[in-house]
Amino acid sequence: MRNPRFVEDRIGMKYGAGGGAMRALIEQIFIGGLGEVGDGGVGLAAMDDGAVLRVGDRWLVITTDSHVVHPIVFPGGDIGRLAVAGTVNDLAMMGATEPLALTCATILEDGFARDDLERLWTSIRRTCEEAGTTIVTGDTKVMGNGELDGIVLSTTGVALTDRFVGDAGLRPGDRLLVTGTVGDHGLAIMATRHELGLATSLRSDVAPLNALIRRALAVGGAGVVAMKDPTRGGLSSALHEMAGKSGVAIVVDEPAVPVRDEVRAVGELLGIDPMLVANEGKAVIGLRPEIADAVLDAVRAHPLGRDAALIGECVADRPGAVVLDTGFGRRLLGEAEGELLPRIC
């Protein structure tokens, strides 16, 4: 990928923002000498949503995330739902829609309220049920008062699948589908932090997508060639990564990108483009053109996919670029790289 920049002496907030700075950190410090997997699997260097390992005649998909969202309860969800959905979705983005199990390591700040912890674990339980999975093992640590802000949940998911889907399989002519409105999670969190009156109408979209993706795969089969959930960095980062890794450019039909009116309004108020902020219940799916409409219909038939749309197309020119076609002209879509929204997930 394109990260000539050198990681600075001090790791600042932008290195956790899901953009170019974070990729540079991973490439320059984490990857070297680690993460090679054989047999055509997916290892650390691929920087995909998870890893894929050969197990017998199937693939074991594994993915991990730490969750540090602030506030821990927000309109539409909480850190427990976010942890489960985020992990289930990362598995689903690799084509593994039936999670075998999750793990959850909990770190608490000394003095964390028992009632709050119970509520979060009730939410974890419900989201697991919704996704058809469970938590099979965990870990508990407590840090001193002032050593951790509240709670951190680190979840890992494993799943077996006969076929996996990466995020680098696009070629010119392929279509891009987004499963619903963009920017909901990021702007809901942002509005909460700014204590905006408008905040009341915004809700995070956090949800497990595995059932939705199962439908898309059932209809699209091998025509589903790339998937990514547009979390940190939003739709823009997801498209940039997919374009960069696939060696194509993506032309986005801007008017086709679904954005809720209130999300657009709050975004304008705060000066934030909804395409640059996190989603926690959406997927971007790369499709061969011949099955694109059929997959769109299948996704729209699912409650979490009602607002799905085909938003763009791959072209051979300018590999790695994401071009926004506004209807009046074309411009390059930028990628958030800074600390736009720290602790968004």
Cα dist. 221→42, 72, 160, 225, 246 in Å?
20, 38, 17, 9, 19
Q: State the nearest-atom distance from the C-beta of 249 to a copy of itself, in Å.
A: 27
Q: State the nearest-atom distance from the C-beta of 290 to a copy of itself, in Å.
A: 32
**Strand, helix or coil for residue 285:** strand
Q: State the nearest-atom distance from the C-beta of 112 to a copy of itself, in Å.
A: 5
Torsion angle of the four alpha carbons 274, 277, 278, 283, in this order, in degrees rounded to the nearest 10? 50
CA-to-CA distance for 185 and 94, rounded, in angstroms?
22
| 153 vs 311, beta carbon nearer a copy of itself | 153
Please give the biggest Cα pair distance in the chain.
57
Count other Cβ atoms within 10 Å, centred on residue 14. Answer: 20
Per-position b or e across 172-191, b if 16+ CB within 10 A of its CB: eebbbbbbbbbbbbbbbbbb
Q: State the nearest-atom distance from the C-beta of 221 to a copy of itself, in Å.
A: 24
| 21 vs 310, beta carbon nearer a copy of itself | 21
Which amino acid appears at position 311 of this protein?
I
Q: State the nearest-atom distance from the C-beta of 141 to a copy of itself, in Å.
A: 5
Cis peptide before 303 (omega within 30 of 0): no
Contact 165, 95 (CB under 8 A): yes
| 90 vs 313, beta carbon nearer a copy of itself | 90
Which amino acid appears at position 229 of this protein?
D
Q: State the nearest-atom distance from the C-beta of 180 to a copy of itself, in Å.
A: 24
